[in-house]
Amino acid sequence: MNKSGYHIAVVGATGAVGVEILRVLERRGFPVADLKLLASSRSAGKRLAFNGREYVVGELNSAAFADIDYAFFSAGATRSRQFVDAAIQAGAVVVDNSSAFRMRADVPLVVPEVNPRDLQDNKGLIANPNCCAAILAVAIWPLHVAFGIKRIVVSTYQSASGAGAQAMAELEEQVKAYADGQPITHKVFPHQIAFNLFSHNTKVMDNGYNEEENKLVEEIRKMFHAPALPIVPTCIRVPVLRAHSESVVIETERPVSVARAREILSHSAGVKLVDDAPNNHFPMPLEATGDLDVHVGRLRLADADSHSLALFISGDQLLKGAAWNAVQIAEELIKHR
Amino acid sequence: MNKSGYHIAVVGATGAVGVEILRVLERRGFPVADLKLLASSRSAGKRLAFNGREYVVGELNSAAFADIDYAFFSAGATRSRQFVDAAIQAGAVVVDNSSAFRMRADVPLVVPEVNPRDLQDNKGLIANPNCCAAILAVAIWPLHVAFGIKRIVVSTYQSASGAGAQAMAELEEQVKAYADGQPITHKVFPHQIAFNLFSHNTKVMDNGYNEEENKLVEEIRKMFHAPALPIVPTCIRVPVLRAHSESVVIETERPVSVARAREILSHSAGVKLVDDAPNNHFPMPLEATGDLDVHVGRLRLADADSHSLALFISGDQLLKGAAWNAVQIAEELIKHR
């Protein structure tokens, strides 16, 4: 440990999540003694500001991790598979935002509000969950502890930026083309996203669920230590720039009441209760954007027997769904060092 | 019966649904011998085209229904309560698109693909269901017949035009303001709709569900003659101009298979199967817009026990969710006259 702080590397620093990691490190006053920004050769040489100073982005290679304490990887699964080992060998603790290692038995997959103790078993590598899984986990974990969740049905409303900065730009370009009376074209997404929505743009697997949906199921099960928990996900892209929303119905082992669920969520870490029925004010992506907390509301009983609850959540998938959860993992590791 | 066709009145002819009723009557070659367009004094005097001829919109009053065979009401619940009786007394059969009479025991609520026989009991008034209920009913009724649905969880993705032409215009204006770098304002919806989404803009009732959600539940139960069927709805507005989508999970009495469900839906009336996993091509509002059929796809088992099925649907809420279902009811009545 460096007395004045830590040597930090951000891999994929110019990407949508990489940029957010820098903003979150600033916002949290994270003790950064030295900062190394890394990206592919295409982005090397770019300059990025951090705490009022400019940093030049260096090219990602295996020799880049000397003296690094914490390396945040957010450059896709291929880059992670290629370079994470080098970072660990160099002595860095890696928080990896890609899907590359999430389901590996020897790699903890962590949302600090849910399973912080899993961090203890880390071997220099911690996986950061899929954005929808992280947001959902924060919202329903306290309900799982209280009532014992035995089934989850979840439909998502996922923003364009979940597919990266270029996808967000595509939505903006399509909307501008529409406003100008020009034809709408698409290249990042398989379909027009402006004024449209579609099943998540990942491959549909043999079980009928797409990759995003399968990640959601597997990752919630792993974090909750509930390997057989039934989860029925439907992942949908919507023409929102940022923040994912999810319509959730949980079934519970023990009786649930709206009043008790509301009370629990009102003091749960990482949750902001937005549940103002008289003013029709509930979680919305526009309000969740930029917030570290996940907004949770529309609490109501799902069936008459008081063993199920419906809720609606919105969370910034670049923050709790990615950058903030990654930085939070590093904060947690430092706390228990 | 007039030999060359029927005397038709369209009440609320200048509204979003009224205009669509005219287009559907044209498109279906509906036997119109005479057409009377009616609206509030504010819209009276406007001219609308029908089958290449111009019609002047007259002012809605109780004396307007002499000699009318079929009156399509689409001017809101207040106008329907005020004028439907006069139309029936004048001898017209009324198809009412408002929510005013839908749950009255002596008024059939009909989707022709689902419960056409309920039309036989009509006393001159037939109610047209809520848009989400109509679209959902068409998609899942054939599955109910085959497998016996015992619970439905449904989350909606409802377009702006479901709230009327002004709401659709507001989404367009907000998108144009964004493209021009101008501030985004709202007045029709309680929140910004562009790049955002929110819980349906109807009042939340004591049971925790909003009016739209309660309609969906009550109307599906009435049409399916299943007064206690458990339905868990979440109704959400999304920044789509037209066509509603719904993410649906049904639980069934009898075992269900994806292959059998697909086969059934592939020849179900009013359904277009859009379920092309290799090309990631599933129901989308942009493709459902303008189509009389409801698009259904993403069929997959929800749980391992083969007693539940997940699906995704998109339907034009101005057509099957309103104008087309109303005209279809009239066609059905004529067929059995």
Mean pLDDT of chain A: 96
Is residue A272 within 8 A of residue A314, CB to CB? The reply is no
Is A284 in contact with B198 (Cβ distance < 8 A)?
Answer: yes
Q: What is the pLDDT of residues B284-310, one digit of tens each?
A: 999 999 999 999 999 999 988 899 999
Here the ipTM equals 0.96
Write the pLDDT tens digit of every residue in B202-230.
Answer: 999 999 999 999 999 999 999 999 999 99
User: Under an 8 A CB cutoff, do A232 and B302 touch?
Assistant: yes
Rounded to two decimals, the pTM is 0.97
Distance between CA A211 and CA B265 in Å, rounded?
Answer: 25
Can B235 be counted among the known catalytic residues?
A: no
Say how far apart CA B99 and CA B72 lie, in whole Å: 14
pLDDT for the residue numbered B2:
44
Residues of A in contact with B280 (CB under 8 A): 190, 198-199, 201, 203-204, 210
A234 CA to centre of own chain = 17
B203 and A CB contact within 8 Å: yes
B185 CB near a chain A CB, below 8 Å? no
pLDDT, one tens digit per residue, over B173-201 is 999 999 999 999 999 999 999 999 999 99
pLDDT band with cut points at 50, 70 and 90 for residue A2: very low
Regarding the domain with residue range B6-128+322-335, which homologous superfamily does it belong to in the CATH classification? NAD(P)-binding Rossmann-like Domain (3.40.50.720)
Window 291-330 of B: residues touching A by CB (8 A cutoff) are 298-304, 308, 310, 312
Strands (E), chain A: 6-11, 32-39, 47-50, 53-56, 58-59, 70-73, 93-96, 125-127, 149-157, 198-199, 231-234, 236-237, 244-252, 271-273, 294-301, 308-315
Give A-chain residues touching B298 at CB under 8 angstroms: 199, 208, 234
| Cα separation, B73 vs A235, whole angstroms | 38
Domain extents in chain A: 6-128+322-335, 133-317
Q: Residue A299 in 3-state DSSP?
A: strand
| Sheet containing strand B294-301, strands side by side | B231-234, B149-157, B244-252, B308-315, B294-301, B271-273
Tallying the residues shown for chain A, one arrives at 337
Q: Which chain A residue is nearest to residue B258, measuring alpha carbons? A: A208
Q: What distance in Å separates residue A64's CA from the closest CA in chain B?
A: 39
The active-site residue out of B7, B144, B200, B244 is B244
Residue range B45-67, pLDDT digits in tens: 999 999 999 999 999 999 999 99
Measured between CB atoms, which of B153, B180, B236 is closest to A249?
B153
- State whether A280 and B209 contact (CB < 8 Å): no
Q: What is the mean pLDDT of residues A310-324?
A: 97
Do the first three CATH levels of B6-128+322-335 and B133-317 match, i.e. the same topology?
no
Q: Give the residue from A265, A266, A274, A260 showing the smallest Cα distance to A315.
A: A274
Residue B26's CB: how many other CB atoms inside 10 A?
A: 14
The alpha carbon of residue B170 is apart from the nearest alpha carbon of chain A, in Å, by: 13
Is the separation of the CB atoms in A223 and A111 below 8 Å?
yes
Instruction: Extract the tokens encoding A309.
Output: 């609850």
Rounded CA separation A44/B313 (Å) = 45
- A78 three-state secondary structure: helix
Torsion sign over Cα B6, B7, B11, B14: positive
* Chain A residues 56-115 within an 8 A CB cutoff of chain B: none
Split at pLDDT 50, 70, 90, the class of A167 is very high
Residue of A179, A199, A310 lying closest to B312 (CB–CB): A199
Averaged pLDDT for residues A248-259: 97
Question: Which tens digit of pLDDT belongs to each residue from A275-294?
Answer: 999 999 999 999 999 999 99
A38-78 pLDDT, tens per residue? 999 999 999 999 999 999 999 999 999 999 999 999 999 99
Three-state DSSP class for residue B132:
helix
Residue with tokens 């199920």: A308
Confidence of residue A3 (pLDDT cuts 50, 70, 90): low
Contact B236 A245 (CB under 8 A): yes
Residue B3's pLDDT is: 53
Q: Which residue, among B154, B247, B250, would best test binding to A if mutated, counting the most A CBs under 10 Å from its CB?
A: B247
The yes-or-no answer on residue B144 being catalytic is: no
Residue A200 to residue A198: CA distance in whole angstroms: 6
CB A246 within 8 A of CB A158: no
pLDDT digit string, tens, across residues A116-136: 999 998 999 999 999 999 999
pLDDT of B303: 85
Per residue in A181-195, pLDDT (tens digit) is 999 999 999 999 999
Could you tell me if A27 lies within 8 Å of chain B, comparing CB atoms?
Answer: no
Q: How many CB atoms lie within 10 A of CB A127?
A: 27
Chain B positions in Cβ-Cβ contact with residue A204 (cut-off 8 Å): 277-278, 280
pLDDT at A1: 45
The CATH-assigned architecture of domain B133-317 is: 2-Layer Sandwich (3.30)
pLDDT at A4: 79
* pLDDT beyond 50 at B137: yes
Q: What is the pLDDT of residues B312-324, one digit of tens each?
A: 999 999 999 999 9
The answer to whether residues A71 and A9 touch, using CB atoms and an 8 Å cutoff, is yes
Tell me the nearest-neighbour CA distance from A233 into chain B, angstroms.
8
Neighbours of A304 (CB within 10 A): 9
Chain A positions touching B308 (Cβ under 8 A) are: 232
How many residues in total does chain B contain? 337
Nearest to A175 among B179, B191, B304 (CB): B179
Within A267-323, residue ranges assigned H as helices are 285-288
Q: Which residues of B touch A179 (CB under 8 A)?
A: 175-176, 178-180
Q: Is A185's Cβ below 8 Å from some Cβ in B?
A: no
The DSSP 8-state label assigned to residue B246 in this structure reads E
The pLDDT of residue A165: 86
Chain A residue nearest residue B171, CA to CA: A195
Helix (H, G, I), strand (E, B) or coil at B120: helix
Please pick, among A131, A200, A295, A307, the residue that the annotation labels catalytic. Answer: A131
B93: β partners: B70
